[in-house]
Amino acid sequence: MDYRESHKQRGCSYDKYLTDEPFDAYMTEIEHNILRKIIPSLFPNTLPTYLDFACGTARITSLVSPLTKHSFGVDISESMLEKAKEKCPSTTFVHKDITKESLDIEPVDLITSFRFFGNAQDSLRSEALAKLNKLLKKDGYLLINNHRNPWSLKYILGRITGGESELDLSPRKLQNLLNKNGFRIKKTYGIGTWVFRNSLINSRRLNSKLARYLELLSKLPGVHLISPDAVIIAQKYK
């Protein structure tokens, strides 16, 4: 199914899905912790303007918008946007597909987009990045994640043991997509490298002190290449 249609159908059940799935809940928490450190480091004084692309129910918007003067969110799902407006009443939300229609705002300093590029088709990925480039100020930052890495230990072991899930967004492929559309990767944070076996995916293990210690492994140089999820800082260069 096309990303656009599947995303629309998820609606407000998306928050519940992320909460109910132990692995997704764990990864979301780690992503949030990383973002809480990244934003102040990129914008030590203040973050003037911010856009959350494919914002959904404002999972990321609600984290970043309190740190900025003016925040925007855009999504193609009306039901998700209704939930987003409840969470972030001071943010301007727009129901629009920016790959087909223009978004009438001035270029912003920061754009985030989480759980979009991993799920989208190649053509949509390129279309979206081209549009986001135009919506970003010169030298502005794009923060995204990639939770669909076919090089991850978790995926490789899953395939060996009979898994059928198909992932196609490798770190190299994502880097090429970003470069092609005017972005350079500045830093990548791997997430969840240690969770490579299904037996490790339960709430007791994921919420343990040992899990937090093992998560430090994902910070080692190059480990993001085999991580099941990663947060990427990219900067517009053209």
- The string of pLDDT tens digits covering residues 67-112 is 999 999 999 999 999 999 999 999 999 999 999 999 999 999 999 9
Mean per-residue pLDDT over the chain, rounded: 92
pLDDT digits (tens, 9 = 90+) for 100-157: 999 999 999 999 999 999 999 999 999 999 999 999 999 999 999 999 999 999 999 8
Q: In total, how many domains does the chain have?
A: 1
Q: Give the model's pLDDT for residue 73.
A: 98
Query: What is the domain range of residue 222?
Result: 3-236
Both tokens of residue 204? Answer: 């007791």
Distance between CA atoms of residues 224 and 232, nearest Å: 10
Give 234's strand partners.
Answer: 142, 185
Q: What percent of the chain has pLDDT over 90?
A: 83
CATH number at residue 115: 3.40.50.150
What is each CA distance from 57 to 53, 102, 128, 168, in whole angstroms? 11, 21, 19, 26
Residue 163 banded pLDDT, cuts 50, 70, 90: low
* Whole-angstrom distance, CA of residue 73 vs CA of residue 205: 34
